[in-house]
Chain A
Amino acid sequence: MTTETPSEALLQVRDLTVTFATPRGPLDAVRSLDLDLEPGGALGIVGESGSGKSMTSLAIMGLQPRAARRTGSVRLRGQELVGMSEAELRRVRGDRVAMVFQDPLSSLNPYYTVGLQIEEAYRAHRPGVTRREAHKVAIAALERVHIRDAAVRVNHYPHQFSGGMRQRVMIAMALSTEPELLIADEPTTALDVTVQAQILDLLQEIRHETGTGLVLITHDLAVVSEITDHIVVMKDGVCVERGAVEQIFTSPQHPYTQALLDAVPRIDDEIGELRAVAPSATPTNGGPA
């Protein structure tokens, strides 16, 4: 079907569409989206709330809601993920593609220690590994994300960690299986500014050390500019602009991208009105507001 050599790209998304059936007809949360990521690369997906960026990240792993229909093509090192059986997808999830979510408190199960939650992620993909071995992996994973006293902390529950530490736990969990691709969906949004910077530094460090590919989803342009090399700007489920970070920041082509950039507060700003992204900046497909 495709003439490109599939092994080149880590992630190749073509014509990805996620459709919900609504009483007023089908609604595309994501429409005809293309994404490309080389091994070890970092791609930022930027957009406002409801632009379909989170749905994109879920759809890559086949985790879109049951009510939604996913079409198009998602290739991981040339292997097609769309149309895979649930059992095959399960082997990809968490092992080859891992995810870090926005709110680390609600994304960790409050009933179990962080250690157990890392161990189960590891053991799900390493049959035959004993609990003791997995426990060591969990401690190493926590050390990897710079959690002090990892051997003690591994037996603590999520509520015993601070917000930033919880996100480190989530990252440790995602990395325990050494995935080829890490999808981080607004990983810093629930955190305060100083902690955000630490988490971003950590993601950057991990990228460089492990060569894991990264898809970073955020509404915060400052965050993408720091970490990623390519950006896809989404609005109402469609990609309105794509390109290298410098290019997007210096010469944005689409009015929506310009509006997004203008909305970033700068230190040399005069105190004036807050800038909003104009709702009519781009033709929409009637996607979710």
Chain B
Amino acid sequence: MPRFLLTRISSGLVVLLLVCLFTYLVFFALSPDPAVQICGKNCTPELIDQIRANLGLDQPFWTQFFLFVVGIFAGRTYGDGASTVDCAAPCLGYSFQSSQAVWDMIVQRLPVSATVAVGAAVLWLLAGLVGGLLSAVKEGTFLDRFTTGLTLTSMSIPNYVLALVLQYVLVVQLQWLPFPQAVAFADDPVQWFLNFVMPWIVLAVGYAAAYTRLTRANVLDVLRENYVRTAYAKGLPQSLIWRRHALRPALTPVVTIFGMDFAGLLGGALITETVFGINGVGKMAADSIARNDQPVIMGVTLLAGFLVVVGNIVVDVVYTAIDPRVRVNA
């Protein structure tokens, strides 16, 4: 097991390094000169050169990339002589726009994105599993066809449309939810919770639909397995056959997908956060793309890559607990 983990972690690191390189390459090749952006209106060529030197942008590509990677692990110092800025590890650089450390910006917003992701995940897991199971048990009935229709509709509604409709219906027309206000959890827990209700629903709907379909298909597949027939031939009670012989094999693939989806969402729900003005990682990414804030985009990309890699490793570990065939004898 430790050896298996070690292999997975090292291959994960390689993936992250490649993600890093690729992103860096894209921005190096495509983005306009950041020094000009930073310099602003009252700019002189000398000033631009000064900024480039401070940021290390005058270095060749590989040196810049190397310094960036080293900075993540060991921290780095920008500039030289009198005006130096120390960037402690893990250093992802500074935002061109706000001059804040990218790491700090991420740490600040990650809990918000996590709140959005966790709430949505609870909703879509509940809805998806219950919907899928019911649909499978009642295969071919009205309930099954209704659920199928509902999932298709849910999957085809874009997030932002649903968000606007919900806001209009729930807040403006029915007034079931208060108008969203920026509050801290400690100040007004109720308002805080209600703020998140709509984003949770909007985010969960698409996933819930996909999970319903997946669960239904898996359960129906497993019910056709020979070992379920064996269970019937043994005269086991129906409830035991469902619980023991159908559910566990059917839900194993759901674990995999969930690990990936959830990890991806922790890295920010770009559209939903932007539509609802939630100050999470996703909105930060959207904003920095619009402003071509390269260090922030790099940071968010790396974070997303990191979360997916970690999510994958966690799924693999969980898998060994669920499926005895995957257990490694070591």
Contacts and interface: CB of A to CB of B under 8 A. Distances in A.
Interface of A: 61, 63, 89-95, 98-99, 101, 103, 106-113, 120-121, 124-125, 157, 159, 170, 173
Contacts, number: 74
Contacts of A94: 233-236
A111 B320 CA distance: 11
B225 A95 contact: no
Given A111-B248, A111-B249, A159-B325, A93 B227 contact: no
Interface string B24-66: 0000000000000000000000000000000000000000000
Contacts of B322: 111
Nearest to A110: B325
B232 A157 contact: no
11 contacts: A63-B229, A89-B235, A92-B235, A93-B233, A94-B233, A107-B227, A107-B229, A110-B249, A111-B249, A124-B236, A159-B324
Contacts of B227: 106-110
Contacts of B235: 89-95, 121, 124-125
Nearest to B245: A109
Closest 9 CB pairs of A and B: A94-B235, A93-B235, A94-B234, A106-B226, A121-B234, A109-B227, A99-B233, A157-B324, A107-B226
A90 B232 CA distance: 8
B48 to A, nearest CB: 64
Contacts of B237: 90, 124
B230 interface: yes
A61 B231 CA distance: 13
A63 B245 contact: no
Contacts of A108: 227, 230
Interface string B220-253: 0000011101111111110010001100110000
For chain B, which range describes its interface: under 10, 10 to 19, 20 to 34, or 35 or more residues? Answer: 20 to 34
Contacts of A173: 234
B325 A109 contact: no
Contacts of A89: 235
A25 to B, nearest CB: 21
Nearest to B224: A65
B104 interface: no
A194 B325 CA distance: 27
B233 A98 contact: yes
Nearest to B252: A111
Interface string B295-330: 000000000000000000000000000111100000
Contacts of B229: 63, 101, 107
Given A101-B226, A107-B229, A124 B234 contact: yes
B325 A106 contact: no
Contacts of B248: 111
A91 B237 CA distance: 9
Contacts of B245: 109
Interface in B197-241: 225-227, 229-237, 240
Interface string B99-117: 0000000000000000000
A106 B324 CA distance: 15
Contacts of B226: 101, 103, 106-107
Residue among A63, A90, A173 with the most chain B CB within 10 A?
A: A90
A98 to B, nearest CB: 7
A121 B249 contact: no
A63 B233 contact: yes
A111 B225 CA distance: 13
A90 B234 CA distance: 8
A157 B230 contact: no
B293 to A, nearest CB: 49
Nearest to B322: A111
Contacts of B324: 110-111, 113, 157, 159
B225 to A, nearest CB: 7
A63 B248 CA distance: 23
Given A90-B236, A157-B325, 10 more contacts: A63-B232, A94-B236, A106-B227, A107-B229, A110-B227, A111-B249, A111-B322, A111-B324, A120-B236, A157-B324
